[in-house]
Amino acid sequence: MIELGQKEFEELVLVALVTLPDQFKSALKNVDVVVEDFPPIDVLRRTGAINGFGLLGLYQGVPLKDRGPHYSGTLPDKISVFKIPLESSVDSVDELMPLVQHVVLHELGHYFGLSDEEMRESRGDLH
């Protein structure tokens, strides 16, 4: 387990977003990516997670492919990246960076409308 400061961890998430392929960055609309220490209790209950350490990230919103012509004026979708569960999964920043990138990419997959199964079939790749 490692512990980073909030700003340091947020920088890892920012790097994961900045290094996305251009076609994905340009497609991001009305979505916020936030860092939270731990999944809230209501999220744990809703997802059926036994404890928050197994939940590294979460997408909440209307997937891009499901947005119709009347989709407007809504609050942004939200991708949460959970700091403490991620930090507890690794022993170094060198291990943490690829894990953060994977979680961000996985949650963006949900934003684009891919299921967990579809992402597993494509080995976590969005294209």
pLDDT tens for the chain, 127 residues long, are: 999 999 999 999 999 999 988 888 888 988 999 999 999 999 888 888 878 788 999 999 999 888 888 888 889 999 999 999 999 999 999 999 999 999 999 999 999 998 888 877 765 455 4
pTM of the model: 0.88
Residue 45 CA to residue 43 CA, distance in Å, equals 5
For 6-66+75-121, CATH gives: 3.30.2010.20
